[in-house]
């Protein structure tokens, strides 16, 4: 009897799930890019692990900054346990300083792709009109811009 709810290991990997030491996790888009080798399109002196670490550090600084702590109304806190009344105001200020300084290092033409992939975990949006070869070229350019932006982050974070 076949269980229709069961998926095999290959299907898990295809859907972006990976087994780690404490269980099964869904990979972020950035981790998927690293697994496919797309984070090796930038400067050859930096590895994909370096780019992944720089992106995760940017994510951490953004999370520690508590930017999204107020709900839509502006009067109620967002219900995620990270409200404006965070305990360590000094740590929040330092994280914001690091975040803004890191963002300044990324040229504005690379920033949209870095923001979408690293912070929002979304694929860089391509126009619907672009099809076939043109779409592949635009996708390659977006991934190259991502790597070039992450290279700037590496230079910044490793110099601080």
pLDDT digits (tens, 9 = 90+) for 37-56: 888 888 889 998 999 999 99
- Cα distance from N-terminal residue to C-terminal residue, the chain: 59
In the DSSP assignment, the letter for residue 28 is: P
pLDDT for the residue numbered 17: 79
The string over 106-144, giving b where at least 16 C-beta atoms fall within 10 Å of a residue's C-beta and e elsewhere, is beeebebbbbbbbbeeeebeeeeeeeeeeeeeeeeebbe
d(CA 148, CA 151): 5
Chain CA centroid to CA 24, Å:
19
Helix (H, G, I), strand (E, B) or coil at 25: strand
The model's pTM is 0.74
**pLDDT top residue among 17 and 78:** 17
CA atoms within 13 A on the CB side of 15: 11
Per-domain boundaries in the chain: 28-159
* 62-71 pLDDT per residue, tens: 988 887 654 4
Tell me if 115 sits within 8 A of 7, measured CB to CB: no
Between CA 93 and CA 70 the distance in angstroms is: 17
């Amino acid at each position: 009897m076949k269980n229709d709810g069961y998926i095999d290991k290959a299907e898990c990997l295809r859907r972006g799930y990976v087994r780690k030491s404490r269980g099964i996790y869904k990979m972020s888009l950035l981790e998927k890019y690293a697994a496919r080798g797309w984070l090796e399109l930038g400067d050859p002196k930096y590895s994909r692990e370096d780019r992944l670490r720089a992106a995760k550090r940017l994510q951490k600084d953004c999370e520690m900054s508590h930017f999204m702590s107020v709900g839509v109304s502006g009067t109620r806190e967002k219900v995620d346990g990270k409200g404006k009344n965070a305990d360590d105001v000094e740590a929040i200020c330092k994280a914001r300083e690091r975040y803004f300084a890191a963002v300044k290092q990324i040229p504005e033409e690379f920033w949209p792709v870095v923001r979408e992939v690293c912070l929002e975990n979304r694929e860089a949006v391509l126009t619907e009109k672009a099809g076939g070869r043109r779409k592949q070229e635009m996708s390659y350019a977006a991934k190259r811009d991502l790597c070039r932006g992450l290279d700037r982050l590496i230079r910044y974070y490793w110099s601080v």
